[in-house]
Amino acid sequence: MSDRWYEKAVIYCLDIDTFVDSDGDGVGDIRGLIGRLDYLARLGVTCLWLNPIHPTPNRDDGYDVEDFYNVDPRFGNLGDFAELLHQAENRGIKVIIDLVVNHTSDQHPWFQSARSSPDSPYRDWYVWSDTQPPDRHQGMVFPGEQNETWTYDRTAKQWYYHRFYKFQPDLNIKNPQVREEIKKICAFWLQLGVAGFRMDAVPFIIEETEPGNPQSPKDLAFLTDLRQHIQWRKGDAVLLAEANVEPDQLKEFFGDGGGSSNRIHMLFDFMLNGRLMLALARHDPEQIIDALRDTPALPDGGQWATFLRNHDEVDLSRLTAEQRNDVFAQFGPDEDMQLYGRGIRRRLAPMLGGDRRRIELAYALQFSLRGTPVLRYGEEIGMGDDLTQKGRDAIRTPMQWSSLPNGGFSAAAPEDLVRPVVSDPKYGYETVNVTLQRHDPSSLLSWFERMIRTLREAPEVGSGTCKHVDVPVPPGVLVHRADDTTGTMVFIHNLGPDDGVVDLSSLEPEAQFPNDILADREYPDPGKLDALPIAGYGYRWIRLCRKP
């Protein structure tokens, strides 16, 4: 069994500003987060992923950074952050932070200097063009909110490139000084004690932008250099990357052509995520089966990160138009539920109509598939969304801790909150909160705790193989297995509403006292595996055998 910690982790993603406010100013902070580490430890979290923590004008939820070597004063200071790392380590929780180095804020001192004079030492830290590039209106990440990727700066008297918003000028990765600065940023936070980085927009970080060339080359060798740098600084540090690229390009982000894993440790599995959503929408596992079969073999040490909901929209851009429309019809039928023509800006619970059976099924399925599961804050209690908020902010509402005003998130006046707390009758904080579910052993929160504890007893899922079991099954049923030196698990998930019976007697010769370790209800003992009942939207995790 591998001893790479990230292969057996449970990652929990949160924004500090919407988690817990300790000082009553309406904004979540580090001291508030420290006070809830025991909650995360009880849930079973082993790795905490923090969305941007740096000082920022905050025009893009913190992704417009103006100082990479500090903490946003709204959250606290570096001393508070060091204490967070210490207290998290005491509870066996590692902390990774967002590394947002594709661009800076236009308020960053580097850019202010760069635009001030052609002789500025920072001029070449950004990407400029003397003339208007012909691809000015191509490559926008946020269609409908952006209308260009090149903007003219009157002070600099040049055009500057920005893959994202115009207030986020791109750094010039071709400049060796920029590369060294990125490595220096990583070294700083590793020295402070973080366990690694979630790298934002990696394909754009390594893009060597050329004006007029929408297919500018990418320097993957920089990822090799960065990986070597961080591992010399901290041997078990991890890079978790966002790289939503074509399937045939994915392996290049894990390692070079030599077959070693010498670049990114983990990639978010966007291909699987889209197919998971399609399978849930159609009540048909065929897309998941295809995903498992089509997954490229990863180099030793390479790992997928699985997710259902992340901090952005549900990105369906890898699906066909017909497939995307099927998902929209089921989970985001109204235009204000959709975003950028490609995604859904809702949380999972309302997408599934608040149906507890389907919510459990979806997360039982995600957590049993190959890779490391990532869970967005609030999903464990079935939080809802606020579609009155703009864009992605619909799912970035304050955590709902109790029935106290503001859901126990903050003692501030409601108008002073960083964002309003969800308050509708079905998903509002008075109905959905941690305290209520803590006192209910049948709550979704209690289920998540039990499911994650069970996962920790099945290391095959994180570090072993994951294969579809190709046997005749009722419509809507998926059977897959996970194998490792520790043993074998078999999983049955019914994506449809109708009950069924599955015959897995072909696996009986491998079995050693098979038994359910997690299920949606009490089922008869598996016996000879020849007649395994499964309820509509049901699931069964069966320990087939354990090896010493």
Place of tokens 């959503």: 277
3-state SS string over 231-273?
A: HHHCCCCEEEECCCCCHHHHHHHHCCCCCCCCCCCEEECHHHH
In eight-state DSSP terms, residue 295 is P
Catalytic, out of 17, 72, 98, 200: 200
In this structure, are residues 400 and 422 in contact, taking their beta carbons and an 8 Å threshold? yes
Q: How far apart are CA 491 and CA 333, in angstroms?
A: 31
Q: How far apart are CA 207 and CA 204, in angstroms?
A: 5
Cβ partners under 8 Å of residue 241, min gap 6 = 198, 199, 202, 253, 264, 266, 267, 268
Residue of 519, 456, 445, 541 whose CA lies nearest to 43: 445
Give the C-alpha distances (Å, rounded to integers) separating 496 from 109, 357, 499, 521, 535.
Answer: 55, 11, 8, 16, 9
Q: How far apart are CA 304 and CA 270, in angstroms?
A: 10
Total number of residues shown for the chain? 548
Kindly give the pairing relationship between strand 303-306 and strand 372-376: parallel
Catalytic, out of 66, 135, 170, 242: 242
Q: What angle do CA 57, 60, 65 make, to 5 degrees?
A: 50
Give the C-alpha distances (Å, rounded to integers) separating 113 from 64, 107, 205, 244, 426.
Answer: 17, 10, 21, 33, 51
Q: How far apart are CA 496 and CA 491, in angstroms?
A: 15
Q: What angle do CA 452, 392, 286 make, to 5 degrees?
A: 55
Q: How far apart are CA 152 and CA 161, in angstroms?
A: 9
Helix 78-90 × helix 176-192 angle, to 10°: 60
Q: How far apart are CA 268 and CA 348, in angstroms?
A: 18
Q: Which two tokens stand for residue 273?
A: 């995520």
Q: Which two tokens stand for residue 82?
A: 């060091």
In this structure, are residues 186 and 224 in contact, taking their beta carbons and an 8 Å threshold? no
Residue 200 falls in the annotated catalytic set: yes
Place of tokens 């149906």: 355
Q: How far apart are CA 183 and CA 229, in angstroms?
A: 7
Helix (H, G, I), strand (E, B) or coil at 302: coil
Q: How far apart are CA 31 and CA 54, in angstroms?
A: 16
Residue 181 falls in the annotated catalytic set: no
Residue positions annotated with a catalytic role: 200, 242
